Structure formats: structure tokens, C-alpha cells
Amino acid sequence: MEQENIPTIKPEPEWMAQIESDRRLNISSCYQCRKCTNGCPVTFAMDIYPDQVIRLVQLGQRDRVLRCNTIWICAACETCTTRCPNDVDIAGIMDYLKERAIEAGVHVPEQKTYIFHSVFLNDVKRRGRVFEGRLMQSYMIKSGELWNKIKDGSIKEEISLGWTLFRKGRLRILPKGIKAKKEVRKILM
């Protein structure tokens, strides 16, 4: 292998130290055994592996990490966190990094996932509980999926699914709200 072709990076460990003190997330203990990656059910859809995310955080590669799709593909199944021999909360770090990616305003590679989370929280903000029918409408419009599905004809499948749910008595017509809406809204401000 020609060594000169390997890109070099300058480690900047300050970022890791900041995360560790900010949210009590343990990152420095990772010794790259890759148990997290080997047990992860969704690596097939990730651009970098979970162990690589942790290594890049250790090396302070903030831009690279905040732009990866891995943090959004993570299904939060907690297998990695459960099995890590060094008590690294990998799934918790994925959440922390999603928050930082939004804060930094970087382009989110999994736009639809981000939009789904956002409309979900907006729905909770509105009435304190999620109203599934309204949530799906908002998602379809905001994500552009409504137009995509009209264009490619797959909207028929969505309508059929919704109709079946309705026919089977599983779609509420009216939402249920809570009394303490203001308190919940304040949490989500």
C-alpha cells in the first residue's frame, strides 16, 4: 500500500472533552472493538459505521461527523449501548450529535426523517398528545412526499392504507387534547 495516499488528519480532542462534560457521555473509553457496529441492525444503510462515528468524535472531526447519515439512520434500538464493554452510550451519542447537527445548521442527509421528528414535536406542542391522522398529513405535505407520491402514482397505496385503517376503526376523527397544553408547550419552546 502506498502510504502517501492516506489522508492525514490533525486530531482535535477538545470537542470530545466538551461533549463528555456537557452531557456526561463517555467517549474516550472506546478502544474500537467494533462490537457496536457488529450488532447494529441498520449498518447496511449507513455511510460510516457506528465505531467510526465514535473514533471521529475522539479525533475531533466535527464537520465529518455532523454531516454523516449514520446519526439519522440509527434506529435507537440500543443494542450498541447495551453491549459496549466500555460503557459507551453509542445511541445516546447519536442523539447528541443530531442535536448538534441541527444547531450547526448543516445539511441533514436524511431530510424526511428530520421532518418527521419536527412535525411530530409540533403536533405534541399543539395539544399535548399526538393525533396520528394530522401528524401524517403534516408529514406528507412538509416532506414533499404528497407530491412525489402523486407524481409516481404511489399515492393510491397511501389512500388505500388510510382507508383500511379508517374502515377498521383505527383512525380517530377528532383529536384528544390535554388540559395542561401550556405546560407542555413551554417544555417544547
When the beta carbons of 59 and 162 are compared against another protein, the nearer one is 162
Distances (CA, A) of 75 to 16, 20, 51, 90: 23, 23, 15, 12
Q: How far is the CB of 21 from another protein (least distance, A)?
A: 12
Q: How far is the CB of 135 from another protein (least distance, A)?
A: 9
When the beta carbons of 17 and 76 are compared against another protein, the nearer one is 76
When the beta carbons of 34 and 109 are compared against another protein, the nearer one is 109
Q: How far is the CB of 49 from another protein (least distance, A)?
A: 16
DSSP labels for 36-96?
Answer: HHHH-TTGGG-SS-HHHHHHHHHTT-HHHHHT-SHHHH-----HHHHH-TT---HHHHHHH
Q: How far is the CB of 63 from another protein (least distance, A)?
A: 20
Interface ranges with another protein (CB under 8 A): 23-24, 41-42, 44-45, 73, 75-79, 81-82, 89, 91, 95-96, 98-99, 102, 110, 112-113, 115-118, 120-121, 124, 128-133, 136, 139, 143, 161, 164-165, 168-172, 176, 178-180, 183-184, 187-188
Between CA 87 and CA 98 the distance in angstroms is 20
Q: How far is the CB of 58 from another protein (least distance, A)?
A: 21
Length of the chain: 189
DSSP labels for 109-159?
Answer: S-HHHHHHHHHHHHHHHHHSS--HHHHHHHHHHHTSHHHHHHHHSTHHHHH
When the beta carbons of 34 and 133 are compared against another protein, the nearer one is 133
Cell (9 digits) for 150:
402523486
Cell (9 digits) for 168:
377498521
When the beta carbons of 10 and 168 are compared against another protein, the nearer one is 168
